Amino acid sequence: MQNIGLAARKPAKGEQPDQYSQAPEQDKTSADIETKPGPATDIYQIGSILYFLITRRTFSGGALPRFYNQAVSPQLNAAIIHAVMRQPAERWSDMEAFATALRQSIE
């Protein structure tokens, strides 16, 4: 989780990027993404970590969290999927909006 909050920072000497929670805009091979890493990248990374914690699988653009874990509410499912959208502009507008959606999904 060393990447969280530091999405625009390059790994320090000896550090490796976390390939499993890496946002598409951090992947040099994603030619369809022109946005530089920023707050939307952190949102993606947290969504990816939540996906893993709930499903025990890394997010790869595949199945919804509910597919692997039926206890996931539709609201939590939607909040996580919105966070890991491929295009940064399609993700939550900011961390506060994401946090609100997460809080509402468990109330």
pLDDT at 32: 74
Residue 10 is classified by DSSP as P
Q: Where are the beta strands (DSSP E) in the chain?
A: none
Q: What is the number of other CB atoms lying within 10 angstroms of the CB of residue 95? A: 15
- pTM of the entire predicted model: 0.79
Cα distances from 35 to residues 1, 28, 52, 68, 87, in angstroms, run: 22, 11, 25, 31, 8
Radius of gyration of the chain (CA): 14
pLDDT at 2: 44
pLDDT at 13: 65
Which alpha helices (DSSP H) does 3-94 contain, by range? 39-55, 65-68, 74-83
Condensed to tens digits (0 to 9), the pLDDT of residues 66-77 reads 999 999 999 999
